[in-house]
Amino acid sequence: MFRLSRAEFSDLRMSQLALNTCFYLVALVGMEAVAWSTHKYVMHGFLWCWHESHHLPRKGMFEKNDLFALVFAVPSIVLIYIGTFGTGWNSPHWFWAGLGVASYGLIYFLFHDFLVHRRIPHNYLPKSRYLRRIVHAHRLHHVIQTKHDGVSFGFMVTESPLRIRERMKAIETRREAQRMASA
C-alpha cells in the first residue's frame, strides 16, 4: 500500500493549493477579456436587441440586458459542477475555474450595477482614482446610445477617460464628414 509521509502530504497539498489558485486566477482575469469581446462583438453586435435596453432609461427594476447575467452564469455553473461531480483529467481544478468566473460575476455586479448604475440606491462616492476611472469610462461608454461606434468596452481594465473622449471626438468628426458628404 502506498503511504505518504507528513512532509510529502504537506507538499502535495501546497502544490494542489497553488494549482487551484492558478485555475481560479486565470479564470477571474480571463473573464475581463471574455467580457470585453462579448460586450463589443455580441452585445453591440447581433444581440443589440437585448443590450439596447441598457443604453436607454430603465423602466422598472429589470431590463432585457439582464438576460446576459443568466447566460454568463452557465459556464460558471458547468465548471463548478464538473469540478464537484466530474471524473477525469484534473476535474477538481475546474471547480476553482468556475469559482473564478463566478467571482468575476460578483465583482462585475458590485462595480457595474451597484457603483456605476446605482441600481441599488446608495450615497457612496468612490475615492480611489481607479474606481473613479472605471465609473467615468463606463459613463462615457453610455454617451453613445447606438449599436455602432461604441467606446470603452472593458470594465475592470479601461482606457483613460481622456483617451476615450479623444476617440469619441474622432467618431463625431467622421460622422459629421459622412453627413456632409451625403448632403
Q: pTM (2 decimals)?
A: 0.81
**pLDDT for 72 beyond 60:** yes
User: pLDDT tens digit string along 79-98?
Assistant: 999 988 877 666 788 999 99
Per-residue exposure over 75-104, b if at least 16 CB sit within 10 Å of its own CB, e if not: bbeebbebbeeeeeeeeebbbbbbbbbbbb
- What share of residues in the chain are helix, strand, coil (percent, to 5)? 75, 0, 25
Cell 449599436 maps to which residue? 147
**pLDDT for 134 beyond 90:** no
What is the SS3 string spanning 4-30? Answer: CCHHHHHHHHHHHHHHHHHHHHHHHHH
The confidence band for 26, taking pLDDT boundaries of 50, 70 and 90, is very high
User: pLDDT tens digit string along 91-121?
Assistant: 788 999 999 999 999 999 998 888 888 888 8
* Amino acid sitting at position 23: F
